[in-house]
Amino acid sequence: MDAPDIDHDAIAAAARALEQGRLVAFPTETVYGLGADAENPQAVARIYAAKGRPQDHPVIVHIAPEGDLAHWAADIPPEAQQLAAAFWPGPLTMILRRAPGIPDAVSGGQDTVGLRSPQHPVALALLRAFKGGQGGVAAPSANKFGNVSPTTAQHVRDEFGADGTVDMVLDGGQSQVGIESTIVDMSRLATHGPVLLRPGHISPEAIAAVIDMLPVAPDAAAPRASGTLESHYAPHTPVAMQDSATLVETLARLRDAGRSAALIHYSSLPHQGPEVRLPAEPEGFAHALYASLRAMDHCGADVILVEAPPRDAAWMGVNDRLRRAAHGSTGIVHGLLQRDIPE
Ligand code: TXA
Ligand code: MG
């Protein structure tokens, strides 16, 4: 991890801003979060307004590792305690039944709450300074609704800089993991077992190694999660995913048709145009994925072509995000090859 020097004055100012109901963006090891005091409904409402996010989408509450889980959640199964002991602080969010007194604003009106203790040193320092380490910071990813999540402080400024709704942005370097936390629903354990709502760096197998139950895919009754909307995490430029062999051919055909493509790949594919080559392993790929999508989004290309990663379990989180980024762009390559270029 880029080990940032902790600026204690900035942390103290940020904690005070949160206590006063203001919005503070802060780094976590997954992506940057847009934080507000989880127990102040007006402050949480400002997050929704800033993001342009629907009011019924719940937000994750971030707590210090020493925080009191029982303040936030009720009927906590021992397996949830085991997961907290194994993975917190870290990139795992657990959905638990919410304790009485937790505002509707953070739970989106559901009877559950999402909880996570992040590992980034700046996030840890902030959570320990805020309300003496006993508070909770409600924080979705610090991007406008539907956009790619930010993995640097500059990305956050690019999203919110102009509109003045974010009071402070703490800079903690580039997020190490690079994709959002794994979300596992532990609120219906007795009837449904653990349910994987969003894949991430912590794999179902790693969870099973701790609680001896493998998280399964959600059924229709599972809680809603906006990160599970089909189209999410998407740049403005259309995105298409293709396997390596098809991609080489597509690049040539697009070039012949006078179309411009930006390329994200991990093999050595030939391309004359904007490109990023990512590491050919899932952790390095995830780390740089969102920054790469943002960079390629700024090239003015007709399409961002992504070399489809392998399908195996280690790539689950990456494949999930890429599938969502490409969801709204079905048929884009075909369309670009058919249509005449406007004058
Ligand atoms: O890595 C992360 O989780 C980042 C960092 C900032 O911690 N946060 C993040 O938050 O990705 P957000 O709001 O962009 O995505 C959180 C997801 C959403 O899909 C939300 O619907 C879901 O978690 N979620 C939160 N509370 C929930 C609950 N009580 N029940 C079901 N889903 C919940
Ligand atoms: Mg998000």
- Same domain, yes or no, for 245 and 150? no
Please check whether residue 48 lies inside any domain of the structure. Answer: yes
Give the per-residue pLDDT at 342: 63
pLDDT value at residue 1: 46
Question: What total of structural domains would you count in the chain?
Answer: 2
CA–CA separation, 212 and 278 (whole Å): 34
* Contact 225 CB / ligand 1 (< 6 Å): yes
φ, ψ for residue 283 (rounded to 5)?
Answer: -70, -45
Domain that holds residue 150: 8-211
Q: What is the pLDDT along the chain (343 residues), one digit of tens a residue?
A: 445 578 999 999 999 999 999 999 999 999 999 999 999 999 999 999 999 988 888 999 999 999 999 999 999 999 999 999 999 999 999 999 999 889 898 998 899 999 999 999 999 999 999 999 999 999 999 999 989 999 999 999 999 987 788 999 999 999 999 999 999 999 999 999 999 999 999 999 999 999 999 999 877 666 555 555 566 778 999 999 999 999 999 999 999 999 999 999 999 898 989 999 999 999 999 999 999 999 999 999 999 999 999 999 999 999 999 999 999 888 999 999 987 666 5
Residue 195 shares a structural domain with residue 269? no
Cα Rg, the chain, nearest whole Å: 20
Length of the chain: 343
Query: What DSSP line would sit under 24-41, residue for residue?
Result: EEE--SSS-EEEEETT-H
| Residues 15 and 139 grouped into a single domain | yes
Beta strands in 210-295 (DSSP E): 239-242, 261-265, 275-277
Instruction: Look at residue 164 and tell me if it is in a domain.
Output: yes
Distance 291 CA to ligand 2 centre (A): 15
Q: How far apart are CA 225 and CA 191, in angstroms?
A: 20
> Could you tell me if the CB of 95 is within 6 A of ligand 1?
yes
Asked if the structure places residue 56 within a domain, the reply is yes
Atom 29, ligand 1: residue with shortest CA distance: 113
Reported pTM = 0.94
Examine the fold and report which residue of 191, 211, 231 is the final residue of a domain before the chain moves on: 211
- Is residue 171 domain-shared with residue 274, that is, in the same domain? no
Q: What is the pLDDT of residue 231?
A: 62
User: Residue 227: CB within 6 Å of ligand 1?
Assistant: yes
Other CB atoms within 10 Å distance of the CB of residue 343: 3
> Which tokens go with 242?
């293709």
Write the CATH number for 26: 3.90.870.10
Sort strands 73-74 and 60-62 into parallel, antiparallel or unpaired: unpaired
Query: Does residue 178's CB lie within 6 angstroms of at least one atom of ligand 1?
Result: no
Do 248 and 313 belong to one domain? yes
Instruction: Report the CATH number at residue 273.
Output: 3.40.50.11030
Residues forming beta bridges with residue 216, ordered by sequence position = 195
Ligand 1: nearest atom to the Cα of 181: 1
The residue whose two tokens read 């009927």 is 75
- Please indicate, yes or no, if residue 262 is contained in any of the structural domains: yes
Task: Choose one of 51, 60, 102 to mutate for the ligand 1 pocket test, by most ligand atoms within 8 angstroms of C-beta.
Answer: 60
From 211, 229, 261, the end of a domain falls on: 211
The verdict on 265 and 201 lying in the same domain is no
